[in-house]
């Protein structure tokens, strides 16, 4: 950690003798009361910020500024051997090019492995557990706390100072509190992603049977075309003379075959796009092709019952995670088609106004009853029969829209259908 010309002070690991999940939390004294505002700010950000990297950067900023530190870092644990800590946020530190520290060595690694917070003053060589590690001449004092949720080590958060006596010993409890807030936020984010994945699987299950039927059509005429081609080229004949009419037929058969192959490739690509695990990668895309892709996937399931129309003359552009937005559109289209029922209509429209793109899915079904409307976005609430829905689709869809800086709203009139509106920030 640090080498200092002044006499080093060694501080033993805080709460060293306590089990990880029962380690005491020293109460904030009067000197720490001023940090309550910082903890409240962090709690607000952790509860409202969907992007975990921004939340982690905010947590580090709160720690560095509140503790008057010169720098700090947040490291997260990897999920597969060899276990490692990866730097995800830093301030005022010189980071290794690979941004990693092996879990078997290093101060942060020791803290993560033992699930114990540390307050270090002076060179590392004074600490028995860190023999063999070289001190950082830029750091004279440091505090490190593990980020732990239900005995699972998620990472560490640390602050450092270039001169000793910067951190009062009781300030370690503040860092521990920050680590606990971060741990809860990371765990909540993971749970939301898991529910989103569950809903995606439900969507794929609903589409799989209709997609299988859709693939069967081109496969049927592909097989027929290949049989026709084989008939034109009898086995055992090295040279075949073809009449002009046969040549024209071959050209037509090959063209139809290629069209069938392209149709199947497009269907499989659509399924893969929806099934793909989100990577939080934003792409700049035109909206209308997204509507066409979603409608193409849903239409086979309702082709003999519902009429779908896309009325989007404009082609606004948005920056989105394609698989996640497709999940939203497919969810809304399936719900609209089910509401419209046999002989019903579903219309997709899109328009841009003052930098905001609004995608609307209209159905001419019976509308949403007033007693159901207030609960529509509640997780696990559904009006569908058992086995037909998870009750997660709308709540997850709204969260996805909000993750993109937009929202999902609806209007409905009993007897006159419903309209769900996806709003997203436009791209100039």
Q: What is the pLDDT of residue 418?
A: 94
pLDDT at 200: 65
8 Å CB contact between 348 and 312: yes
CA distance 414 to 154: 49
Say what the pLDDT of residue 51 is: 53
Q: How far is CA 418 from CA 335, 365, 366, 383, in A?
A: 10, 7, 8, 15
pLDDT at 18: 38
User: What pLDDT is attached to residue 360?
Assistant: 95
DSSP 234-265: -TT-S-----HHHHHHHHHHHHHHHHHHHHHH
* 283 vs 260: CA distance, rounded Å: 29
Q: What is the pLDDT of residue 346?
A: 96
SS3 205: helix
Residues 6+ away with beta carbon under 8 Å from 361: 329, 332, 333, 336, 346, 347, 348, 419, 420, 422
Residues near 289 by Cβ (< 8 Å), separated by ≥ 6? none
Nearest to residue 45, comparing CAs of 189, 194, 196, 190? 189
pTM: 0.48
Asked if 123 and 145 touch (Cβ cutoff 8 Å), the reply is no
Identify the pLDDT of residue 391: 60
CA-to-CA distance for 173 and 169, rounded, in angstroms? 8
Q: Tens digits of per-residue pLDDT, 356-367? A: 999 999 999 999
Q: What is the structure's pLDDT at 56?
A: 85
Report the pLDDT value the prediction gives residue 171, as an integer from 0 to 100: 86
Which distant-in-sequence residues (6+ apart) come within 8 Å of 292 by Cβ? 310
Looking at residue 323, what is its pLDDT? 79
- Tell me the CA distances in angstroms from 277 to 152, 267, 274, one per residue in order: 23, 18, 8
Measured distance CA(65)–CA(137) in Å, rounded:
22
* Alpha carbon of residue 83 to chain centroid: 23
User: What three-state secondary structure class fits 425?
Assistant: strand
pLDDT for 150-175, tens place per residue?
888 888 999 999 888 889 888 888 89
Nearest to 67 by CA among 155, 134, 148, 160: 160
**Contact assessment for residue 278 and residue 325, using Cβ atoms and an 8 Å cutoff:** no
Say what the pLDDT of residue 268 is: 67
Residues of the chain with pLDDT under 70: 1-38, 41, 45-51, 79-83, 93-105, 196-218, 220-221, 224, 228, 230, 232-247, 249, 252-253, 256, 259-260, 262-263, 265-280, 379-381, 383-392
Domains of the chain: 20-192 (3.30.450.40), 278-428 (3.30.565.10)
């Amino acid at each position: 950690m640090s080498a200092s010309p002044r006499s080093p002070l060694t501080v033993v690991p805080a709460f060293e003798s306590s089990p990880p999940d029962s380690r005491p939390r020293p109460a904030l004294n009067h000197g720490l009361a001023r940090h309550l505002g910082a903890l409240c700010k962090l709690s607000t950000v952790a509860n409202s910020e969907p992007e975990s990297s921004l939340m982690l950067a905010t947590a580090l900023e709160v720690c560095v500024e509140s503790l008057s530190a010169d720098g700090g870092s947040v490291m997260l644990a990897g999920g597969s051997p060899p276990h490692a800590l990866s730097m995800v946020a830093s301030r005022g530190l010189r980071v290794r090019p690979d941004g990693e520290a092996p879990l078997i060595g290093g101060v942060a690694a020791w803290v993560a492995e033992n699930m114990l917070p540390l307050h270090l003053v002076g060179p590392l060589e004074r600490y028995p557990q860190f023999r063999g590690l070289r001190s950082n001449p830029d750091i004279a004092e440091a505090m490190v706390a593990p980020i732990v949720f239900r005995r699972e080590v998620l990472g560490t958060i640390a602050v450092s100072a270039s001169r000793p006596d910067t951190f009062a010993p009781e300030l370690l409890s503040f860092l521990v509190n920050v680590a606990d807030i971060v741990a809860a936020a990371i765990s909540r984010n993971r749970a939301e992603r898991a529910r989103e994945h569950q809903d995606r699987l439900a969507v794929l299950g609903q589409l799989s049977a209709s997609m299988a039927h859709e693939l069967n059509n081109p496969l049927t005429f592909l097989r027929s075309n290949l049989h026709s081609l084989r008939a034109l080229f009898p086995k055992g004949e090295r040279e075949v003379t073809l009449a002009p009419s046969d040549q024209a037929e071959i050209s037509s058969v090959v063209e139809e075959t290629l069209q069938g192959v392209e149709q199947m490739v497009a269907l499989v690509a659509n399924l893969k796009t929806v099934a793909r695990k989100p990577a939080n990668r934003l792409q700049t895309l035109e909206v209308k092709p997204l509507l066409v892709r979603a409608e193409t996937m849903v239409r086979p399931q309702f082709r003999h019952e519902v009429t779908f129309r896309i009325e989007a003359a404009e082609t606004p552009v948005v920056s989105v995670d394609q698989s996640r937005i497709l999940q939203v559109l497919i969810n809304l289209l399936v719900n609209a088609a089910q509401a419209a029922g046999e002989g019903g209509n579903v219309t997709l429209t899109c328009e841009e106004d003052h930098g905001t793109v609004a995608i609307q899915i209209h159905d001419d079904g019976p509308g949403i009853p007033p007693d159901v409307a207030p609960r529509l976005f509640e997780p696990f609430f559904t009006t569908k029969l058992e086995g037909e829905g998870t009750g997660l689709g709308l709540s997850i869809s709204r969260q996805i829209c909000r993750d993109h800086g937009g929202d999902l709203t609806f209007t409905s009139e009993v007897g006159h259908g419903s309209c769900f509106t996806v709003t997203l920030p436009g791209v100039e």
